[in-house]
Chains A and B, each alone.
Chain A
């Protein structure tokens, strides 16, 4: 029983971890807390559903979806975010993403209606425990791939340079705009994965990612908003904590589960605002 709950928590945590990773990537590159990240993931999940529905095999539809999400992320950065990311205050940026949130949500409701839809599982024949482990494995693979690219390639070096100081990077000859677009694209692609991982259990609907976004914020805050490793660790931790609290703490039950990540957020922000793996901000006046 305990083991089963643990595995289930890991499965859900994998989805949260992927979205948290997307949030952290966006934040690292552009300094934006993207409230629309979950909605972009939801949109991508609908694309995947549409593809599978029209007869495409699951494992073909998945990469196509990720590619579409990547393109969409790049497009959003190039058309909307780019105009506000330099010079505008943090608030303007956040509000822009909130506008995107409302817009994307309404568009999805418009195209696909707000009916609940069943989404195919990646491992239809496997028992629940195994497919949860599979989801956690996918999240681990993605983190590994991201870490490899960021640490050991020329592209990764450029990306880190832009994240550290866009102005110096530009002076050194880096095409900062392209790297930022790439960052948004990568974040959207990873977010899409999160949507696809979670859709079989959550069912597909326009409001699907609202709760997930809260969990992912909790995960990102817990791990430190600028640490990809922290995001994944935080996501898995939140998933497990939520599932175990829902099962073993009588007063929490099924409908107060959402309070677990929220309590985590508040506690972490008060006690250790930089998170478990994050770095403390230093500001020169």
Chain B
């Protein structure tokens, strides 16, 4: 019962946000949502299956650029297919999955850090293509993203739309679309993780040989999870393109991949909730620092010579990753869980408390 109340409150708050908050916060929130979709994908791969991928940014780029290419009308210098935009979005996600499938012979055979090293190839190769395949990607300057249009409803500032005296521009409209995409991705991933595939994935992560002995097709699973995770990356890329309204190649570099790894470590490895919390933390931190930089000691506005907010954010979250690994093995989600256990009044769902025997078996 109390669960329903909580979810209803969350839903009401979510719906109310575009009516009260300004564009800056909506955009930040939308970035966080798209990051959350991507982070769920990499958490399936890295957190749940133990396969390190440094190539997630590549699949985001693929999703974003494929959407633009499929949806845009061809011009004199830039190519495009001019497909209906929802179809373009779906095809972009499928294309990201297909690219993951092409890489999956490698992804299936390599494990852990070795896969991480091999996926570096995707990042550097991908960026090279983004910068040089100008008819498709627009080169260094990127290209404009055509707005999504579903059954005549356009996700753009025009035509004007006013709901309850609030003008609904592109961000307000996308807000609900982003929420739906995130909800769908989260539910699907939760289903995967809680079912038979999730158990198999966790067994592969914890002990590859044991998994094989128990009849889990290890190679096939690794390849399949890689494909699934790249499709999540593609969807995140499509959302990102819609929010940015412009795709630029510089953005999809190695640092973006590291951002995604940071998200799942800070949030909590191997779970949907952890990915969402981590994505919110990593996307909101730089924005908050930029916004309130004048109120913080040591942090100066950009260009004034002091510590810029972007630098402060990088230092803070580099430190946050190290601190989380050292002190919070379960990430922020683990912290929330243990807080909830200690304060019975806050407990939303009963958590299994370890019995004395299982507890003692963990002591080494």
Q: Which residues of A contact B (CB under 8 A)?
A: 33, 35, 80, 83-84, 87-92, 94-96, 98-107, 109-110, 210, 214, 217, 221, 255-256, 258-259, 262-263, 265-266, 269-270, 273, 283, 285
B120 touching A217, Cβ below 8 Å: yes
Q: Please, how many angstroms separate the alpha-carbon atoms of A6 and B322 in the complex?
A: 42
What are 14 sample pairs from A and B whose C-beta atoms fall under 8 A apart? A33-B113, A33-B117, A80-B326, A83-B326, A90-B112, A91-B112, A95-B265, A98-B258, A98-B261, A103-B315, A105-B318, A106-B315, A110-B307, A258-B124
Q: Which chain B residue lies CB-closest to A213? A: B120
A210 touching B254, Cβ below 8 Å: yes
Q: Please, how many angstroms separate the alpha-carbon atoms of A266 and B209 in the complex?
A: 24
Q: Please, how many angstroms separate the alpha-carbon atoms of A265 and B110 in the complex?
A: 12
**Chain A residue contacts of B254, Cβ below 8 A:** 210
**Chain B residue contacts of A273, Cβ below 8 A:** 109-110, 114
Beyond A269-B118, A270-B106, whether A285 also contacts B209 by CB under 8 A is: yes
**Chain B residue contacts of A84, Cβ below 8 A:** 325-326
A89 touching B120, Cβ below 8 Å: no
B322 touching A96, Cβ below 8 Å: yes
Interface majority SS (helix, strand, loop, mixed), chain B: helix
**Chain B residue contacts of A89, Cβ below 8 A:** 50, 205
B52 touching A283, Cβ below 8 Å: no
B321 touching A98, Cβ below 8 Å: yes
Beyond A91-B46, A106-B314, A110-B311, whether A283 also contacts B209 by CB under 8 A is: yes
B125 touching A106, Cβ below 8 Å: no
A109 touching B262, Cβ below 8 Å: no
B109 touching A270, Cβ below 8 Å: yes
How many residue pairs bridge A and B at CB < 8 Å? 122
Q: Which of B291-344 contact A (CB under 8 A)?
A: 307, 311, 314-315, 317-322, 325-326, 329
A269 touching B106, Cβ below 8 Å: yes
A103 touching B318, Cβ below 8 Å: yes
Q: Which of B87-145 contact A (CB under 8 A)?
A: 105-106, 109-110, 112-114, 116-118, 120-121, 124-125, 128, 132
| Choice from B52, B117, B314, B320 contacting A105 with Cβ under 8 Å | B314
Beyond A221-B117, A283-B209, whether A99 also contacts B112 by CB under 8 A is: no
B112 touching A106, Cβ below 8 Å: no
B163 contacts A by Cβ under 8 Å = no
Beyond A99-B262, A214-B120, whether A91 also contacts B110 by CB under 8 A is: no
Q: Please, how many angstroms separate the alpha-carbon atoms of A266 and B103 in the complex?
A: 10
Beyond A98-B262, A99-B321, A99-B322, whether A256 also contacts B311 by CB under 8 A is: no
Beyond A98-B258, A273-B110, A285-B210, whether A107 also contacts B265 by CB under 8 A is: no
9 smallest CB-CB distances across A and B, nearest first, come from: A103-B318, A99-B321, A102-B318, A262-B121, A106-B314, A33-B113, A99-B322, A106-B315, A285-B209
Q: Please, how many angstroms separate the alpha-carbon atoms of A273 and B105 in the complex?
A: 14
**Chain B residue contacts of A259, Cβ below 8 A:** 121, 124-125, 128
Q: Please, how many angstroms separate the alpha-carbon atoms of A99 and B207 in the complex?
A: 25
**Chain B residue contacts of A101, Cβ below 8 A:** 258, 318
B213 contacts A by Cβ under 8 Å = yes
B128 touching A90, Cβ below 8 Å: no
B269 contacts A by Cβ under 8 Å = yes
Q: Which of B205-237 contact A (CB under 8 A)?
A: 205, 207, 209-210, 213
A99 touching B110, Cβ below 8 Å: no
**Chain A residue contacts of B318, Cβ below 8 A:** 99-106
A95 touching B128, Cβ below 8 Å: no
Q: Which of A83, A99, A104, A256 has the most CB of B within 10 A?
A: A99
CB of B119 to closest CB in A, whole Å: 10
Given contact pairs A101-B258, A109-B314, A273-B109, a sample of 12 additional A-B residue pairs in the complex whose CB atoms are under 8 Å apart: A35-B116, A80-B326, A89-B50, A96-B325, A96-B326, A99-B262, A106-B311, A214-B120, A266-B121, A269-B109, A269-B118, A285-B209
B118 touching A285, Cβ below 8 Å: no
**Chain A residue contacts of B52, Cβ below 8 A:** 91, 94
Q: Please, how many angstroms separate the alpha-carbon atoms of A95 and B324 in the complex?
A: 10
Q: Which chain A residue lies CB-closest to B320? A: A99
B322 touching A103, Cβ below 8 Å: yes
Beyond A94-B52, A262-B125, A266-B106, whether A99 also contacts B113 by CB under 8 A is: no
CB of B301 to closest CB in A, whole Å: 16
CB of A188 to closest CB in B, whole Å: 17
Q: Which chain A residue lies CB-closest to B318? A: A103
**Chain A residue contacts of B213, Cβ below 8 A:** 285
| Choice from A33, A103, A105, A263 contacting B116 with Cβ under 8 Å | A33
Q: Please, how many angstroms separate the alpha-carbon atoms of A2 and B325 in the complex?
A: 49
**Chain B residue contacts of A217, Cβ below 8 A:** 117, 120
Q: Please, how many angstroms separate the alpha-carbon atoms of A214 and B258 in the complex?
A: 15
**Chain B residue contacts of A87, Cβ below 8 A:** 364
**Chain A residue contacts of B120, Cβ below 8 A:** 214, 217, 262, 265
CB of B317 to closest CB in A, whole Å: 7
Q: Please, how many angstroms separate the alpha-carbon atoms of A104 and B258 in the complex?
A: 14
CB of A217 to closest CB in B, whole Å: 5
B311 touching A265, Cβ below 8 Å: no
Q: Which chain B residue lies CB-closest to A214? A: B120
A102 touching B326, Cβ below 8 Å: no
B121 touching A100, Cβ below 8 Å: no
Beyond A80-B326, A83-B326, A106-B315, whether A265 also contacts B121 by CB under 8 A is: yes
